[in-house]
């Protein structure tokens, strides 16, 4: 269960991390990605297709079609995927949805959420996909 990201974003993060474990320019079918990650194929295709608009992945049509990273994994951060799919509102707005939540007029969890939000943002911006390669391979091979 996620607290911060939509299911679409979770799947997008998993799919892009999976693509980052492959050799550069290796095109992987949506079917293979879906099977390896236990995600519905149609969902994988839609998510990755939307990420092509942001220059994170590219797609190739046809019999040998599929998806690959559009740039080197050392140029992509997890926050790029989050921003493309869910946006960055969770890092800017009130977690409880109160309007005008601020340090001067905080919601009940403002201070604690602020600390967690900063930690999550720092984690998502602090490393690039290539730094997660071995851990991603281990997780995929040992679910």
Q: Which residues is 68 bridged to in the sheet?
A: 58
Assigned CATH for 7-87+129-138: 1.10.10.10
pLDDT > 90 fraction of the chain, expressed in percent and rounded: 62
Residue with tokens 């194929």: 41
Q: Residue 2 pLDDT more than 60? A: no
pLDDT (tens digit per residue) in 32-85? 999 999 999 889 999 999 999 999 999 999 888 899 999 999 999 999 999 999
CB 124 within 8 A of CB 82: yes
Q: Tell me which residue of 124, 41, 30 sits closest to 85, measured CA to CA.
A: 124
The predicted model scores a pTM of 0.88
């Amino acid at each position: 269960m996620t607290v911060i990201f939509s299911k679409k974003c979770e799947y997008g993060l998993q799919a892009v991390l999976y693509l980052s474990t492959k050799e550069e320019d290796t095109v992987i079918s949506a079917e293979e990605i879906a099977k390896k990650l236990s995600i519905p194929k149609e969902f994988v295709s839609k998510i990755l297709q939307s990420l092509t608009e942001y220059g994170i992945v590219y797609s190739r049509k046809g019999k040998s079609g599929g998806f690959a990273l559009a740039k080197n994994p050392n140029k992509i951060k997890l926050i790029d995927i989050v921003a493309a799919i869910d946006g960055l509102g969770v890092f800017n707005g009130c977690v409880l949805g109160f309007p005008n939540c601020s340090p001067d007029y905080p919601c009940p969890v403002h201070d604690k959420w602020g600390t967690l939000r900063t930690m999550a943002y720092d984690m998502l911006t602090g490393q690039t996909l290539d730094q997660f390669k071995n851990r991603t391979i281990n997780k995929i091979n040992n679910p």
